[in-house]
Structure 1
Amino acid sequence: MQVKKRQKTDWYLVSVLLLGAFLYGWGIWDAGSANSYYTAAITSMTKSWSNFWYGAFDPAGFITVDKPPVALWFMAISAKIFGVHGWSVVLPSVLAGIGSIFLMYKLLVPKFGLWAGRIGALVLALTPTVVANSRTNNMDAILVFFLLLAVFTLQKAVSRQNVWLVIISFGLIGVGFNIKMLQAFMILPAMLVFYWVAIKLPWKKKLAWLVVGLASLSIFTLAYPVAVDSVDKSNRPYIGSSQSNSLLELAFGYNGTERLLGQSTGTGGAFPGMGNTSKSSKSGTNKTMPGAKKSGNSKANGKMPGQAPTGKAPGGTAPTGKKPTGTPPNKNVKQGKGIAASKQGKPTGNMQGGGNSAFAIGSAGPFRLFQSDLGSQIGWYLPLAILGLIAGWFGFRKRGAKWYHISEEQSEVLLWAGWFVPVYGFFSVASFFHPYYTIMLAPAIAALTAIGVSAVVKMSANNSKHALFSRILISIAVLSTLLLQSYYVWSYYPVISVILIIMAIILAIWWLMPRQMNNRIKILLSAIGILAMAGWWSLTPTLSHNSAAIPAASPSLLSQQGSSDMGGDVNNQLLSYTKQHQGNAKYLFATTDSNSASGYIIKSGKSVMAIGGYNGTDPTMTLSEFKALVKSGQLKYFVMGNNSKTSSGQISKILSWVKKNGTKISYSSTTNSTQTQKMGGQTQASTLYDLSSIYQ
C-alpha cells in the first residue's frame, strides 16, 4: 500500500502570514473607535437580536447603517465575546486580511508553482491600501476575503467537476452582496468567463450547472434584503441612506448607480465626479457637496499624498501624543462643508483618515489609478500586473495550438484579467467612491504580478528567442514600476526618488544583457527596489497604530498618533446633562446625523436618534411624526449636530420646528447654551434644545 507523502510546511508562506499579522494587527489596541459610525452600530447590535439582525445604528433600533450587516455580524460577535473595544471590532478585518493572503497563495500554487504563490501572497500583503483596510472596521477587507473564497471554491469546482462547489462559489458572491452590495458583483464577469472556459463538461451539462450556480447567487443575494423589506416598516429600523426605506433601493440607488454616475439623492443635488477636474473647478467655482458621504464636514487639516510632510501634526501643531487641534496650514483652502476645495477646485487634505481625504480620487480617465491620489494606495505594482497579464497569456500558450485553444494556465490568466479589467474600468470613470475602495483591485494585481514572473521564468528557460523577449519584458517592467514609484515617493523623499530613478535605469539596462551576467543579483536588487518603498508605505499605518474611518497609508500618518475618525467626538458636559435629565424618555437625545450621534452611543450605550441618517438628509419621518414622538415623552432633547445647516426636506422642517419651539439649555455652568468643542481642527457647536415643555 502506497503511503501518502506528508506535505511539508512552506515556511515562506508562514513568514508572509506572520508579516501580514504584524502589519494588520500591531497597534490595534490604539484603534479608539476606528470608524465610529460602524462601532456605534456594533455597540447597538450587541444589545438585542433585532439590532443584530438588521444592523441597527442605535440601541433603540431607529435606523440602520448604510450597508447590509453581514460583515458587522462578525464584528458584533467579536465585541460580544471580548467587549466593545477598538481592537475587538477591528479584529475580524485583521483575520480577513491574513486569510486573504493565504487564499492568494492557494489560488496560484496549483497552476503556477510555489514561487508564484509566495510572490502573490507577498505582493498582496505589501499593498498599502490592503494594510490600511485590514486595520479598521470598514467592510472592505472582509468583502475581499469572501470574494477570494468564492474564486477559490470555483477553482476547486472546476478541477474536481463538482456541482455543489459551483453552487457554493456563486452563493458566496451573494453573501458578498450582503456585505457591500453591488461591489461584490464586480468580479462576476471573471467567474463566469473562467467557469465556461475552464470546466471540462459537455455544454448542456455545463450550462445546467451554471444555471444552478446563478440560482444560488440569486437566492443568497436576495434572501436577506427581501426578508427585511417584507417586514412592516413600523416594526423594523429605517434603512439608513435609502430614500424609500428599502434595502433593495439602497443597493441599486445610493450603493449602486450613484457610485458610478455620482451621488444624487439625500444631498440636495447631483455630485458629478468628486475629485475630478472640470471647467467649473478650474475656474475656482467647484462647490462642495453638503453632507457628502463620509466627508465628516471637516476642514482641510493636512496634506495629500504627493505633498511633503512637515513634521507637524495635521492640525498644524507639533506632535504631542494628544489629538491634533488647530487651524489648517493651507491658507488656500475654502472652509466649506464636506470636501474641502482649493482655489483651483482640486480636493485637498491628507490621506490619513480625515474627512478631506474621503474623495481624493484624482481626475477621471484611463490613467486615474496611476495618479498620486489613488496610486499611492494601490498603484505600486500596476505596471507589473499589466505586463504580467500579457506575459501570462503568451507565456502559457500551448505550442502549436490554435489561437482559440486555451491552456489551463491561460484560463487562470483570464480569471484574473476578468477581475482586473472591469474593476480598473470602474475606478477610472466612477464619480462616487472613496480611495480605500481600490482594495478591490489588490488581489488581481497581486495574482497577475505573480503569474507574470512565472511566465517570464518559463519563457526564458525555453529557447534563446523567448529568453530575449523575457529579458525585454522584465526590463520594461522594472523600469516602469520603479519610475512610477519614484513619482509617488518624490514629494516625501526626493533623494530616495532620485535613487529609484537611477536604480530603474541601471536595472533596465542590466536586464537586457545576456543571462550569464549574474541573474540572482539582478533578481534580488529588482525585488528590493520594487518592494522597498511600497513596503514602507504599507508599514506607515502599522507604525502609527492607525485604524481610520477613511483608511489610507502615507508617511504623513507618522506625524500623528492613534486612530483618526470623522465622528465619534463626545461633549462630556452635554452627555452628563442629558443622562441626568433623561428620565423615562426612550432616547437620550436626537440629533441631525449619525456622526454627531456615534460617539455618544459608544460611550454611554444609550439610544441617540440620528434623525437624518449618515448625511443628515434621510427622510426617516415627517414633522407630524416627530411632534408625536415628542408629545409621547419618548424624546426630550435635541442637539444640533454636524449637518444641521445642510439638512433638507422633512428633516429641515423638523430642525426649523425645534429651533422655533424648543428651549435652549445651558448644560454647563461656564458657558451659554451653545457649547463648543474641537473636532479634528474645527470648532463644533453643540446646541441643546429642551423639547419636553412644548406640550405641557
Structure 2
Amino acid sequence: MEQRKNIFPKKHVKIDLWLVAILVLAAFLYGWNIWEAGSANSFYTSAIISMSESWKNFWYASFDPAGFITVDKPPVALWFMVIFVKIFGLHGWSIVISSVLFSLGSVFLIYKMVKPYFGALAARIAALLMTLTPIVVADARTNNMDATLVFFLLLACYVLQKAVSKHNIWLVGLAFALVGVSFNVKMLQAFMILPAMYVFYWIASKENWKRILWGSVVGTIALIVFTLSWPLAVDSVSKQNRPYIGSSSTNSVLNLAFGYNGTQRLLGQTTGTGGTFTGMGNSKKGTKNKSKAQNTKKLTNSNKQNKAGGKAPGMTKGTGKTGNNAGGGNSIFNVGTAGVTRLFQTALGQQISWYLPLALVGLIIAYLTAYDTKKKWWQLNRRQEQLIYWAGWLVPVAGFFSVASFFHPYYTIMLAPPIAVLAAVGISSFIESLNTVPSKKNYWLRGIMGVGIITNGALQAFFVWEYSVIAGIVVAVISVIMSIFIIFNYSKVKLFTAVGLLGLLWLPAFWSLTPTISAESAAIPTSGPSLLSGNGQSAGSIGDSSANTKLISYLKKHNGSKVKYLFATTDSNTAAPYIIKTKKAVMTIGGYNGTDNAITLKQFKKLVKKGEIKYFYISSHTNNNAIVRWVKKHGKKISASTYGGNSSSTTPSGMSKKGSRGPQQSAKGGPGGKKNMAKFQGKKPKKMGKMGKMVKNKKNKKSNTAGKMSGGMGQQQSSVLYELD
C-alpha cells in the first residue's frame, strides 16, 4: 500500500539554549521586583486607571476619569497596560508588565534579525548586549512608552527584512504600517528609523526598479494611513465632545505631534514653560553650566534624592538627575553639553554608551570582512546591506540626541538596538576572519579590534571613575592587556578577544543590575550606583507626590451629590496621586505642566455654578492665571487644620509603596524631602558592599536646584484649599 505523503511536514525547531539563558537573564533584570513598582510614573498610571473605566477614556487616553484632558502621548502603549490592569487588577506589576514583555520581545527580535545574516554567535552577543544595556533595563521596569516603541520599531524592521527576502510587497506595507503604529506610541520619535528602512529597501531588494518603486508607494501609503488614523479620528470630533489634548497649544493631536512631541524635541520647548530656566534649549550658558557640573561631580545629598527631578508647573519635565552628574545651576535636563561628544559624556553615556566605541569599530570590521574584492564597491552583498540597515538606524538617532534640546536620558533607549547589533557583528566577523585569513596577514583587522577594545575600556573607565577609581583602573588594564595580546599574539586571538569582551561586560552588567536590586520603577527611569545608596530610588516626577488622606476624607464628606470633580487644580502633578488613591476625577485646568489652556474662566465659572466643582486646590507652585486669580478673590480659604493637616499616602489598595518611595518631591520638608526621607522609605539606605566602593560619601556643595523643582504637594505648608460658591 502506497504511503500517503504528509502535506504538512513537521518542522524541527532547534532551541538555542544560549538564547534561552539570555532571555532568562533579561526576564530577571526586567521583571524582578516589579511587584514593588508602586505607582511607577503616576502621570500615566492615572491615565491607566481612567482609561480602564470607560471606552471613551480608553480611546482618547484621558488623564482623569471624567475625561477632561488627555495625557501628552497617544494611547497605543497605554492600551496594552490597561488590558493587563483589566485582567489582573491594579497593581504595581500589572501596570509595567507590558513594558517587561515588550523588552523581552525586543531582545528576541534582535536575535532573529541578526542570526540569518551573521550567524548564531553574533545573534547571541547582540541579544546579550541589548539585555545588558542599563537604560534598557530601567525603561523596561516603568509604564513609560519607550520599551513599547522600541519593540514595534524592531518588529517593523524585522518584517521589512522578511519582505525583502521573500519579495513580498504586502509585507513591505505591513512593515511601514508598524511604523505608523509606533507613531501612535510616541509620535515623531518613531520616524527616526524611516531613512534606514527606505534606504535598505532600495539597496537590498533584488527586483526591478519599477517593482521597488511600487513597494515604496505601498509602504508609504500604509505609513500615512496608520500614522494619521488616530490623530485625524480624534481631531475630527468636536472639541466640546472630547477631552482637551494635553500639552498641545491648539487642542489638536496633530499640533501635539508636530509641536510638543515633534520640533520642540529638537529645537527646545517653546510652549508650556511659563518661565526661563538655565539649561533649556540650546543656551550656551546652560550647557556650560551642565558641563562644569559634570566635570566637578559635586552634588548634594538632596540632589541625589531628586535624581529624577521634580517638576513645577510651568517648567518642562523633570531633570532626570541620577545623583551623580546632574546638570549645573537650574538646569532641568541632565543630557550633557550638545555636540558630537554628548553621547560620550557621563550624563547620557552612563545609560546608553557602554558599547558605543565597540559598535563603531564593529561596523568597520564587519564591513571590511564582508567586502568582496571581485565586485565593484557599489555592489553590496547581504551582510553589507544589513550593516547599512543598522548604521542607518544608529547615525540619525545618534545625531538627533547629540544636538537635541528637549528630551530625557531614558529616550536614548532608541540607540540600544543598533549599538548592540553593530558591536556584536563586529566581534563575530573578526572571529570568523581568524578562520579564513592567517593571523599574520590580518594584522590590520587585529589592530582595529585592539584599538576598539582599548577605546571602549577607556570610556567605561571614564564613566565609572567618579564612583570607583579601582573599577576604572581594572577595566582599563584588562582592555589594554587584551588589546596587546590581540594585536601581537598570533595563536590565541580568539581567547583574548573573548576575555576582552567579558572585561567590557562586567561594568555595564552591574549598572544594569542596579534598577533590579533597588526595585526601581520611576517616572524618569535611570540606572547606576546612586540607586543603591538609598537616596536615588524611584526617580520622582509628575504625580509621584503624596495624596493627603485627611484632605480626601474632608472632600468626600463635604462635596455634594452634584459634584463631578473631587477638586480642581492647575496641573497633573498635583492631581495624579489623588486620582490613583480615590479613582475619582480631579480637574487639571493646566494639564501636565499647568500651562495648558484647557478651560476658560467663563467655562470654569459655569461648572462652579452648576455645582460640578466645589473645591480648588492651589499648590505652592501654581501659576497665577485668570482662574487662579478668580479663585483667590472669590473662594473661601479652608485652613489646613480644618481637614487635619498633612497625613499622606500615595499608594492605592493593592499597590506597593516601595516602588514609589524615595524622592517623591524635591521640595524640602515635604513627604519626600530630605528630612523625612528615612521615615518615608521606612528603611535604612542600602549599601553596595565592596564593589569598588561605588557608593561613597562625597564632600558636596549645596546645589542650586535643591528645593526648586518641587513636585506635587511637597510644600504643603504653602498650599491652600479653596471652597467655591
Give the TM-score category using the shorter length.
0.7 to 0.9
Q: Distance in 1 between matches of 2:90 and 2:437?
A: 61
Identity of aligned residues (%): 52
Alpha-carbon contact 1:352-1:552 (below 8 Å) kept: no
Q: Does 1:544 align with 2:522?
A: no
Match of 2:685 in 1: none
Deviates more, 1:683-692 or 1:4-13: 683-692
Q: Does 1:155 align with 2:161?
A: yes
CA deviation after TM superposition for structure 1 residue 125, in Å:
0.3
Q: Distance in 1 between matches of 2:180 and 2:317?
A: 37
Q: Which 5+ residue runs of structure 1 have no aligned equivalent? A: 287-302, 317-323
Q: Distance in 2 between matches of 1:241 and 1:339?
A: 11
Q: Which one of 633, 636, 654 corresponds to residue 663 of structure 1?
A: 636
Structure 1 residues 2-58: Cα deviation after superposition (integer angstroms, max 9, x where no partner)? 976623210000000000000000001110110000000001011000000000000
Q: Does 1:101 align with 2:127?
A: no
Alpha-carbon contact 2:289-2:327 (below 8 Å) kept: no
**1:337–1:69 CA distance, 2 compared to 1 (3 A):** closer
Structure 1 residues 381-425: Cα deviation after superposition (integer angstroms, max 9, x where no partner)? 000111111122222112311011011111000100000000000
- The DSSP-based 3-state class of the residue aligned with 1:678 is coil
- The DSSP-based 3-state class of the residue aligned with 1:110 is helix
**1:383–1:49 CA distance, 2 compared to 1 (3 A):** same
CA deviation after TM superposition for structure 1 residue 353, in Å:
12
CA deviation after TM superposition for structure 1 residue 338, in Å:
5.1
Match of 1:138 in 2: 144
Alpha-carbon contact 2:355-2:456 (below 8 Å) kept: yes
Mapping for residues 304-319 of structure 1, pairs under 5 Å: 307=297
Mapping for residues 409-558 of structure 1, pairs under 5 Å: 409-464=383-438, 467-516=442-491, 518-558=492-532
Match of 1:592 in 2: 570
**1:555–1:276 CA distance, 2 compared to 1 (3 A):** farther
Alpha-carbon contact 1:357-1:550 (below 8 Å) kept: no
Q: Distance in 2 between matches of 1:118 and 1:263?
A: 40
Residue identity matched to 1:690? Y
Alpha-carbon contact 2:160-2:175 (below 8 Å) kept: yes
Alpha-carbon contact 2:157-2:175 (below 8 Å) kept: yes
CA deviation after TM superposition for structure 1 residue 679, in Å:
3.5
CA deviation after TM superposition for structure 1 residue 640, in Å:
1.1
Alpha-carbon contact 1:271-1:431 (below 8 Å) kept: no
TM-score normalised over the length of structure 1: 0.88
- The DSSP-based 3-state class of the residue aligned with 1:101 is helix
CA deviation after TM superposition for structure 1 residue 528, in Å:
1.8
Match of 2:687 in 1: none
Match of 1:21 in 2: 27
Structure 1 residues 253-278: Cα deviation after superposition (integer angstroms, max 9, x where no partner)? 01100000000012235779638672
Alpha-carbon contact 1:30-1:562 (below 8 Å) kept: no
Q: Distance in 2 between matches of 1:260 and 1:338?
A: 17
Match of 1:300 in 2: none
Residue identity matched to 2:493? N
Residue identity matched to 1:581? H
Match of 1:289 in 2: none
Q: Does 1:211 align with 2:217?
A: yes
**1:202–1:405 CA distance, 2 compared to 1 (3 A):** same
- The DSSP-based 3-state class of the residue aligned with 2:721 is strand
Residue identity matched to 1:622? T
Residue identity matched to 1:258? Q
CA deviation after TM superposition for structure 1 residue 209, in Å:
1.2
Alpha-carbon contact 2:297-2:324 (below 8 Å) kept: no
**1:150–1:282 CA distance, 2 compared to 1 (3 A):** closer
Q: Does 1:177 align with 2:183?
A: yes
Q: Does 1:565 align with 2:565?
A: no
Structure 1 residues 420-475: Cα deviation after superposition (integer angstroms, max 9, x where no partner)? 00000000100100000000000010111112112212333333465212211110
Alpha-carbon contact 2:149-2:190 (below 8 Å) kept: yes
Residue identity matched to 1:510? F
Q: Distance in 2 between matches of 1:351 and 1:85?
A: 31
Q: Does 1:364 align with 2:364?
A: no
Structure 1 residues 569-605: Cα deviation after superposition (integer angstroms, max 9, x where no partner)? 2111211111221222000001110010000000100
Residue identity matched to 1:692? L
Mapping for residues 347-426 of structure 1, pairs under 5 Å: 350=323, 359-426=333-400
Match of 2:601 in 1: 623
RMSD of aligned Cα (Å): 3.1
Q: Distance in 1 between matches of 2:490 and 2:673?
A: 56
Q: Which one of 42, 50, 60 corresponds to residue 44 of structure 1?
A: 50
- The DSSP-based 3-state class of the residue aligned with 2:141 is coil
Q: Distance in 2 between matches of 1:487 and 1:386?
A: 18
Alpha-carbon contact 1:423-1:440 (below 8 Å) kept: yes
Alpha-carbon contact 1:677-1:684 (below 8 Å) kept: yes
Alpha-carbon contact 1:46-1:80 (below 8 Å) kept: yes
Structure 1 residues 325-362: Cα deviation after superposition (integer angstroms, max 9, x where no partner)? 9xx9x9xxxx9995899xxxx99662799999961000
Q: Distance in 2 between matches of 1:68 and 1:551?
A: 20
TM-score normalised over the length of structure 2: 0.84
